[in-house]
Structure 1
Amino acid sequence: MTDTIAAMDKYLRKHESDMIYLLERLVNINSHSANVEGVNLVAAVLEATLRGMGFAVRRLANRYTGDNLVAENMARRQRGGGPLLVGHMDTVFPPEMGFDRMRREGNRIIGPGVSDMKGGLVVAIFAARALAAAGRNDLPIGFFFNADEEIGSPHSRGPIADEAKKSKFCMVMESSGKGGEVITGRKGRIIFDLTVAGKPSHAGHSPYPKPSAIVEMAHKIQGLEALNAPEEGISLNIGLVEGGVGPNTVAARCTARCETRFVDAQQGETVWKAIQELCAKPVLDGTSASLDIHMDRPPMVANDSILGLYELISDAAGEIGMEVSSVSLGGGSDANIVARENVPVVDGMGPAGDLFHTPEEFLETDSLVPQALLTAAAMLKGAERYS
């Protein structure tokens, strides 16, 4: 262990209680994606914290969600480059749910967004603090904390991509999972609305087969479900269906919100073409269908660039007495956005945790210091590799 790493380790162990204190401040503010005031309160705490560390902070206001934060230390402002650490401030828990306080049970910290992903925000901040405490203020560091990740980052994806392109590499601070895995791949995703139009009539006098939007939707759903190919990594799910006005009326309209996930861009193009072809061919005369993409995320494919960064992190882990492994997941994150820009990126650098999006969401307390040390050590090693 080098003197720099030893100094960072000492700093983090000494300040573990400060990490937990900051985490509690963030967790006890409800920051559901739709709670703009709450998200902005979290942003205010983080902005004050970062300014206190000497970072220049910009707030990117948005009329639909809370503000996004962009922060840079002096070295990044002067020279550019360095790593970009990305995390989100919003959660999936609405205020009325009543899950709004952090609590501790043994080695677990439980609360809304503790691991998805306010714990990751704390790890990122204290990794930068540890580097400064060890005398390495010369390393350029950037942060991007966004307000809308849980709804697909519709308003922050452009600014995230812009900041990523200014950076040598990127680490997304989502939870590392129970096993502490570094995430090197994530599936792409398309959420889409399927709308079927039929011809309304009295159910007692309608010709048969009826030009019912609901019946046509039933045929479409069967066709969409048949596109699932789990052995190839393709999934398709119909999550919400609405239509009709009553039992005595042939339905004129039916809608379905669906999603598909896929491993790489080519696979995504293939499955989307199949969806379009299916919806272009009505089974029942007098019906028609249309598609509208609600949200999409590109896949994060474990290419040489991503695997090279993972190897760097694995080497850094070895230097501090840790072991890491890599994993590819079906869920998406802002790492997908960075990967599309061909910037080296990994995810899962936050503390270990599980049961995300549930009232039992937790992180493991004893993973806070190691993950902050690993993040700091990776930034240190990245400064050599990506200079």
Structure 2
Amino acid sequence: MFELLESLVNIDCGTYDKAGVDQVGDILAERLVALGFEVQRDPQKEYGDHVIGHKPGDGHQYILFIGHMDTVFPAGTVKKRPFRIEGDRAYGPGVVDMKGGITGLLFALEALKSTAPETYRRVAMDVVFNSDEEVLSPTSRPIIESRAKQAQAACVFEPARPGGEYVIQRKGVGKYILEVAGRAAHAGAQPEDGRSAVEELAHKIVALHALTDPSTGTNVNVGVIRGGERPNVIADHAYAEVDVRVAESKIAENIDQRIRDIAAAQLVPDTTCKLSGGIKFPPMLPTEESARLLSMIQKAGRELGLDLRGIATGGGSDGNHAAQFTPTIDGMGPQGGGAHSDREYIEVATLAERAKVTALFLAEWSNVK
């Protein structure tokens, strides 16, 4: 198990490192074929190819598994800090987000195939290993949605939450870019001839942050701003990137419209604003069906002496897409922390532990009529 994890972690595979992501895809495709899957590659130019596996079944059950191959780290990261185990933790780029989850899934399927071959044969399975999740899955979203429409359940192998919780609810995520154009002028000699793009953007930033409402779980954050070139020049351009988190679809629609209204409003004469982006991940909401999936996972946990719980989180994942069409459980991967940083790790014991839970859950789920 750790040999596979090490091989995956020790490949630089940032989202835009197509060669590296494709190398990871080659390893995973080979593993899926060995598990009886028919594998196809969805070719991409900017990102790595998506790896899609399908295993036919002869029963009525059909389940979807989702994991992403890309990380946020630049080329050369592996050379600086390759995979290593120290004490009860394993470290390395992408080890928790989400090479650990992918490794756990593959070993769970292998365990089910060897210990319950009839169950394994009966259940139809799809696996989507996508290459662009860290940039909000622009090319893989249609694939995930298409497969989710056919499935009766979906499992996403993002890491467990800090206390080992599975994820049953995620906020929707929006990304927006504002580009403001004004007119340059000398800030001392002819300021009246200028139209400050920075001033216009400043008004918009204040209005955007005012959309944050903790009572509804709404957060709007302008996290990146740029503008102007010199302090003695009225800025003719300004730029901002905005992150949005919303708890419900109706709120998402409302916030999206209000952001568009803010972008369209003009407070500094003769300035213009171009807005791009939108809600990229719809909210993932708990349902009675997803609660039943969690109940089966909890039963599997009890067999192993584990008290497993579900939790809501503010981060988005491909589970947000799948959940629009089928009951979905996320956080199926191992416990760890430090994602997207040089402190990233997994708790070693939880890698096999979560894989066992997944295998037991699948055996239980396959018997549901």
Query: Which has the higher mean CA deviation after the structures are superposed, 310-319 or 359-368?
Result: 310-319
Alignment CA distance shift 1:67-1:79 (3 Å):
farther
| Alpha-carbon shift at residue 135 of structure 1 (Å) | 2.9
| Alpha-carbon shift at residue 210 of structure 1 (Å) | 5.1
Percent of aligned positions that are identical: 35
The equivalent position to 2:187 in structure 1, one of 182, 186, 203, is: 203
**Distance (Å, rounded) in 1 between the aligned partners of 2:322 and 2:13:** 24
Amino acid at match of 1:349: M
**Distance (Å, rounded) in 2 between the aligned partners of 1:293 and 1:105:** 42
- Determine if the alignment matches structure 1 residue 360 to structure 2 residue 343: yes
**Distance (Å, rounded) in 1 between the aligned partners of 2:228 and 2:213:** 31
- Determine if the alignment matches structure 1 residue 317 to structure 2 residue 301: yes
**Distance (Å, rounded) in 1 between the aligned partners of 2:291 and 2:11:** 36
Summarize deviations over 1:57-91 as a string: whole Å, max 9, x none.
1111111110111112242xx56742111101111
| Alpha-carbon shift at residue 99 of structure 1 (Å) | 4.2
- Determine if the alignment matches structure 1 residue 114 to structure 2 residue 98: no
The equivalent position to 1:133 in structure 2, one of 114, 122, 126, is: 114
Contact 1:27/1:100, CA 8 A, preserved across alignment: no
| Alpha-carbon shift at residue 271 of structure 1 (Å) | 1.5
The equivalent position to 2:170 in structure 1, one of 157, 180, 186, is: 186
**Cross-structure match for 1:249:** 233
**Cross-structure match for 2:242:** 258
**Distance (Å, rounded) in 1 between the aligned partners of 2:62 and 2:81:** 36
Q: TM-score, normalised by structure 1?
A: 0.90
**Distance (Å, rounded) in 2 between the aligned partners of 1:207 and 1:101:** 55
What secondary structure, in the 3-state scheme, does the structure 1 residue paired with 2:15 have?
Answer: coil
| Alpha-carbon shift at residue 272 of structure 1 (Å) | 1.7
- Determine if the alignment matches structure 1 residue 373 to structure 2 residue 337: no
Contact 2:256/2:279, CA 8 A, preserved across alignment: no
- Determine if the alignment matches structure 1 residue 36 to structure 2 residue 8: no
Amino acid at match of 1:73: K
What secondary structure, in the 3-state scheme, does the structure 1 residue paired with 2:163 have?
Answer: coil
Alignment CA distance shift 1:379-1:99 (3 Å):
farther
| Alpha-carbon shift at residue 178 of structure 1 (Å) | 2.6
The equivalent position to 2:31 in structure 1, one of 49, 61, 65, is: 49
Alignment CA distance shift 1:314-1:135 (3 Å):
closer
**Cross-structure match for 1:12:** none
**Cross-structure match for 1:85:** 65
Alignment CA distance shift 1:259-1:349 (3 Å):
same
- Tell me, which stretches of 5 or more residues in structure 1 are unaligned? 1-18
**Distance (Å, rounded) in 1 between the aligned partners of 2:183 and 2:61:** 59
Amino acid at match of 1:229: D
**Cross-structure match for 2:40:** 58
**Distance (Å, rounded) in 2 between the aligned partners of 1:292 and 1:344:** 31
**Cross-structure match for 1:6:** none
| Alpha-carbon shift at residue 294 of structure 1 (Å) | 6.2
The equivalent position to 2:3 in structure 1, one of 14, 18, 21, is: 21
**Cross-structure match for 1:16:** none
Contact 2:264/2:273, CA 8 A, preserved across alignment: yes
1:230-245 → structure 2 map (5 Å cutoff) = 230-245=214-229
| Alpha-carbon shift at residue 171 of structure 1 (Å) | 0.4
Q: TM-score, normalised by structure 2?
A: 0.94
**Distance (Å, rounded) in 2 between the aligned partners of 1:40 and 1:213:** 42
Alignment CA distance shift 1:94-1:161 (3 Å):
same
What secondary structure, in the 3-state scheme, does the structure 2 residue paired with 1:384 have?
Answer: coil
Amino acid at match of 2:41: R
Contact 1:187/1:261, CA 8 A, preserved across alignment: yes
**Distance (Å, rounded) in 1 between the aligned partners of 2:185 and 2:269:** 14
- Tell me, which stretches of 5 or more residues in structure 2 are unaligned? none
Contact 1:99/1:359, CA 8 A, preserved across alignment: no
Alignment CA distance shift 1:48-1:100 (3 Å):
farther
**Distance (Å, rounded) in 1 between the aligned partners of 2:183 and 2:13:** 44
- Determine if the alignment matches structure 1 residue 223 to structure 2 residue 207: yes
1:276-355 → structure 2 map (5 Å cutoff) = 276-293=260-277, 296-341=280-325, 343-355=326-338
Amino acid at match of 1:265: S
**Distance (Å, rounded) in 2 between the aligned partners of 1:244 and 1:294:** 26
| Alpha-carbon shift at residue 211 of structure 1 (Å) | 2.1
Amino acid at match of 2:342: P
Query: Which has the higher mean CA deviation after the structures are superposed, 80-89 or 200-209?
Result: 200-209
